[in-house]
Homo-oligomer: A and B are copies of this chain.
Amino acid sequence: MNFDFSEEQKLLKKTVQDFLTEQAPLAVNRAVLESDAVYDEGLWKSAAEMGWLGAAIPEEYGGAGFGYLELVLIAEEVGRALVPIPFGTSVGLATEAILAAGKPEQKEKYLTGLAAGDRIGTLAIAEGPGPVKLEDVTTTFENGALNGTKIAVPDGGAADTAVVLANTGGATSLVIVDLGADGVTRTVQRSIDPTRTVATLEFKGAAGELLGGQGEGAALTQRVLDRAAILTAWEQLGGAQRAFDITQEFTTGRYAFGRPISSFQAIRHRLADQYVDLELARSNCYYGAWALETNADELPIAACNARISATHIGELTSVEMVQMHGGVGYTWEYDCHMFYRRAKHLGLVLGSADEWRERLIQHLIAKQAA
């Protein structure tokens, strides 16, 4: 039994953390929030240079030759620093889709760019509000042409390449599209966390190419979502831990009635509860990381566990962060709202916790039947 990261992995994490502490203070996220920028280009370049984007990409395609245990630790630090870059989307969704289903020439074409950060990828699934039914999309791909509209496309303001779930004659398939191509209209939408834009993508006869087999779209998408859920859970966990740490520090420095407010049980017991839920989420994330690294049969269940508990702790810590900061927590000037926004964003971007709970039950029933 060795349910921990290695010393090398911890060292890598430390390096990432140190870099981001230096280069990505929260002011960086605020700058994107308060401007028209859709992400921080400088940090994106750095992420590429340090091999974060290609952590799970084979070296032959420009990857860094790390593994998933390294990747999740990078994700945690990206989450902790609220770095305004399309990391989880490009790495967790687009890269994973191509790794899973790309033909060698597609891998060659896309992965190198994704690893180098020259290309930013996304995955476009949803067409309307509510839970997504992967088997049931109206966007079509016929004769090489994509038609339809995708909404809430993650990091849709930053991406230049989209993997699109489309209907291909009754079944679903994945299609890669260049967002600069003719027939693609992109509209960035107002969203709860403007530092991670979402966009509507309208396709009118846009040229695309199949990714993976015809009819494999839903299955491939689910596979990618499961894997991305684990990576995103680590990003959520990082944000939650940071929100918690800031809150703990604030409530200990803030005095009322002659003593630190964290000395009041109304605060300290709730901090204890948050700590507990953070630890539970972290443990579920560990299990997810193990499943990802070993491509274990348990991965789908591990993904649900990680996703559900990370979404819970992300929202809990950010809600409590605002509340425990009191009045200043509700001001634009303080950083609380950036955590509040990001937590909600990350909790939805791969579908709500409800959808993951439903999926978990399906897996558990299938497992009991087996």
- Using a CB–CB distance below 8 Å, which chain A residues touch chain B? 264-266, 269
Contacts and interface: CB of A to CB of B under 8 A. Distances in A.
A230 to B, nearest CB: 33
Contacts of A265: 264-266, 269
Nearest to A264: B265
5 contacts: A264-B265, A265-B265, A265-B266, A265-B269, A266-B269
Contacts of A264: 265
Nearest to A265: B265
Nearest to A267: B265
A248 B303 CA distance: 44
- Number of copies of chain A assembled together: 2
A266 B266 CA distance: 6
Contacts of A266: 265, 269
A266 B265 CA distance: 6
A269 B265 CA distance: 9
A266 B272 CA distance: 12
Contacts of A269: 265-266
Nearest to A266: B265
A264 B268 CA distance: 12
A269 B269 CA distance: 11
A265 B267 CA distance: 9
Nearest to A269: B266
A266 B264 CA distance: 9
A269 B266 CA distance: 7
A259 to B, nearest CB: 13
A266 B269 CA distance: 7
A264 B266 CA distance: 9
A266 B268 CA distance: 9
A3 B33 CA distance: 50
A209 to B, nearest CB: 46
A263 to B, nearest CB: 10
A264 B264 CA distance: 9
A126 B26 CA distance: 60
A199 to B, nearest CB: 34
A345 B357 CA distance: 30
A178 B264 CA distance: 61
A269 B270 CA distance: 12
A275 to B, nearest CB: 16
A22 B278 CA distance: 52
A194 to B, nearest CB: 35
A264 B269 CA distance: 11
A267 to B, nearest CB: 9
What 5 pairs between A and B have smallest CB-CB spacing? A265-B265, A265-B266, A266-B269, A264-B265, A265-B269
A77 to B, nearest CB: 35
A143 to B, nearest CB: 45
A217 to B, nearest CB: 35
A41 to B, nearest CB: 48
A131 B273 CA distance: 34
A100 to B, nearest CB: 41
A261 to B, nearest CB: 11
A265 B265 CA distance: 5
A142 to B, nearest CB: 40
A272 to B, nearest CB: 10
